């Protein structure tokens, strides 16, 4: 696994052996960041269920101002720390070693707003998608132009609406899909 573009282009990232993590493929990460384009520069980016940290590290590499990595599994938390250290990333990165909803509650209580929230819970925990989307849609955590991106199995249909969030786009690639959500426009 490698960083696709930006400051750390082509640098390798470590991952865990076995099936403990299911990192986003290089190809899907490239598609995601091609879609987001320059809007990542100076953005606040939350990487929920961060695993290896590849998504958040890609955001940093492309100029994100701040990235919050949320991961509750100790081995993955250490892996994120190791990947950040190997790249020399010391500023603009924060790791919250707690579950996704608790992390979002903590961030919301600080009155912080994210430009991007990426979530990729383990596919076996499909219920996490709706729970997290509902929380984001009801909390004041997303900037007015913010985007929520959910990576999921292409066979899993995510809701069109989650509180004030509305799905605006779905991109399918192989067995995976990316669902994009924005704040629904008032009628």
Domains of the chain: 30-183 (3.40.50.150)
Q: Model's pTM, two decimal places?
A: 0.93
Dist. CA 71–CA 95, nearest whole Å = 8
Q: What are the pLDDT digits (tens) for 27-80? A: 999 999 999 999 999 999 999 999 999 999 999 999 999 999 999 999 999 999
Distance set, CA 160 to CA 7, 50, 122 (Å): 36, 24, 21
């Amino acid at each position: 696994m490698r960083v696709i573009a930006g400051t750390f282009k082509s640098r390798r990232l470590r991952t865990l052996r076995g099936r403990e993590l299911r990192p986003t493929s290089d190809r899907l990460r490239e598609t995601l960041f091609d879609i987001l384009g320059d809007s990542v520069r100076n953005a606040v980016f939350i990487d929920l269920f961060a695993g290896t940290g590849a998504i958040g590290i890609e955001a940093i590499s492309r100029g994100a101002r701040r990235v919050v990595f949320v991961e509750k599994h100790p081995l993955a938390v250490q892996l994120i720390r190791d990947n950040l250290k190997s790249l020399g990333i010391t500023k603009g990165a924060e790791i919250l070693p707690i579950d996704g909803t608790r992390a979002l509650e903590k961030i919301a209580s600080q009155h912080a707003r994210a430009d991007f929230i990426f979530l990729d819970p383990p596919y076996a925990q499909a219920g996490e998608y709706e729970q997290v989307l509902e929380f984001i849609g009801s909390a004041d955590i997303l900037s007015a132009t913010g985007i929520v991106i959910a990576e999921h199995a292409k066979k899993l249909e995510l809701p069109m609406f989650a509180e004030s969030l509305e799905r605006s786009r779905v991109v399918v690639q192989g067995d995976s899909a990316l669902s994009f959500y924005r704040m629904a426009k008032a009628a």
